[in-house]
Amino acid sequence: MKKNTRKILNIIIALALVLSLAACSTGTTNKETPATDTLDGGQKYVIGFSNCSMAHSWRTAFVDTMLYEVEKNSDIIEDFIQLDADGDINKQLADCEDLLNQDIDILLLSPQTSDALAPVGKMCAERNIPLIVVDRSISSEDYTSAVISDGVKMGAVIAEYAAKKYDGKFNWINLEGTPGAGPNEERNKGLDSVFANYPDIKLLSKQPCNWSEAEGLEVMENLLQAYPDIDVVIPSNGDIALGAYKAIKAAGRENEIEIISIDCSRNDCLTAMKDGKITMYTATNPVYQGGLAIRVCLEILKGGSVDKQISVPPPIVTEDNFDQWYFPNDEPGDYSYWKTVYTDDLAKEILGF
C-alpha cells in the first residue's frame, strides 16, 4: 500500500513539473497583450498617470474626478498608478520613465510645461504605449489624444465681457499664472486676440503670479504703487484674484478697480463673487477633464476610435446659473460643482461616446 501511494505521488509531481515547463515555454518578454484577462473573459487594464503637481486644490479635484471614473470602471481597471512630480520637471520625466517600466497599458500625462515634457511622446512611441495628454499640451505630435480645456476661449470670453462692459476703453493689469505653461499661454492668447481690436484698451503691466494667492497679493501691492490709473485687473485664476483683492482693499481702492477673473470656480472664490469682491462672471477650467481623460483611456484600450484633439468647452458662470456652481456649506477650498455638473450626458456630449 505504501509503495502504491509513493508511486501515485511521483506521478503527480512529474505531471506538475511538465505543466510548469510548458507554461514557461509559452512566456514572452515582449508585451504583446498588455492587459490581463478577467474571470468572465474580458480584459483589465493598468493606467499610469504622471501629474505635474498636487500643490493646488484644483489638482486635488482634478484627480478626484479621475478616481471617480476608475472606481466606476473597476471591473476593467486593474490598477491606477499615479505619481506626483511636485512641480519638478526632471522628476516628472523620471516619473514617466518609471511608469513605462511598470508594465502599464497606457500613460496619462499632465505636464508641468509643454516644451520640457515633449520627450515623453517619443518615450511612449518607442514602447508602443498610447499617450494621453490632459489639461496641458506638449510641444510634440507624439501622443494619441489630448483632452484639454479651451484656454484660448476662456481668455477670449473674459476679454469680450470686459470690452463690452467698458465700451472698449479701460486700463488693465494682467496677473498671469506660470509663463510657459499651456493654460497660461492659451488664456493670454485669448485675451490678446480680443483686446487687439480695441485701441483704447491699454495693458499697463503683465506679471506672473504662478496661480498663487500669496503671489497675487504681493504682485498687486507693487502694481498699485506703480499705477494710479488701473481700471480692471484680470487674474488668470481665482487664487490670484483673491490675493489681488486683498491688496486692492488694503490700499482703499476697491471702489475704483474691478476684478474680472478667469477660472474662478472654487467655493471660496465663488463666495468672493457673491460678496461683490470679484465680478460674478467667469470662464472656468473644468476639473472634470480628469474624468474625461480616463474615459478616453478606456475607449482606446478597448479598441475604440478617439479624436487626437479633444477640446473641453469652458463653462461660463454668471448670475443666472451661479447657484448651480456654488456650495456654501462645503469646504472653501473645494471645487464641489463637479459632483453635480459632471454627468454621463455631459461626458458623451463632449467626447462623442
Residue 323 makes CB contacts below 8 A (sequence gap 6+) with none
Overall CATH class of domain 151-283: alpha beta
Mean pLDDT within 264-270: 96
Closest CA to 183 of 96, 97, 62, 324: 62
Question: Which parts of 137-214 are beta strand (E)?
Answer: 145-149, 170-176, 201-208
Q: What percent of the chain has pLDDT over 90?
A: 85
Residue scoring higher pLDDT (37 or 22) = 37
Radius of gyration of the chain (CA): 26
- Output 7 or 334, whichever has higher pLDDT: 334
Does 151-283 match 36-149+286-314+330-351 at the fold level?
yes
Judged against a pLDDT cut of 60, whether residue 23 lies above it is answered with: no
Per-chain mean pLDDT for the chain: 90
Q: What number is the average pLDDT over the span 113-131?
A: 96
Q: Does the pTM exceed 0.75?
A: yes
Residue 14, pLDDT above cutoff 80: no
Q: Flag whether pLDDT at 297 surpasses 80.
A: yes
pLDDT at 181: 85
Q: Answer whether 201's CB lies under 8 Å from 163's CB.
A: yes
Across the range 67-92, mean pLDDT stands at: 98
Domain boundaries, the chain: 36-149+286-314+330-351, 151-283
The answer to whether residues 271 and 304 touch, using CB atoms and an 8 Å cutoff, is: no
- Residue 189's pLDDT is 98
Helical H runs in 196-303?
213-226, 238-250, 267-274, 289-301
Half-sphere exposure (CA, 13 Å, Cβ side) for 88? 9
More confident residue, 255 or 181: 255
CATH superfamily of 36-149+286-314+330-351: Response regulator (3.40.50.2300)
Contact 175, 143 (CB under 8 A): no
- pLDDT tens for each residue of 163-218: 999 999 999 999 999 998 888 999 999 999 999 999 999 999 999 999 999 999 99
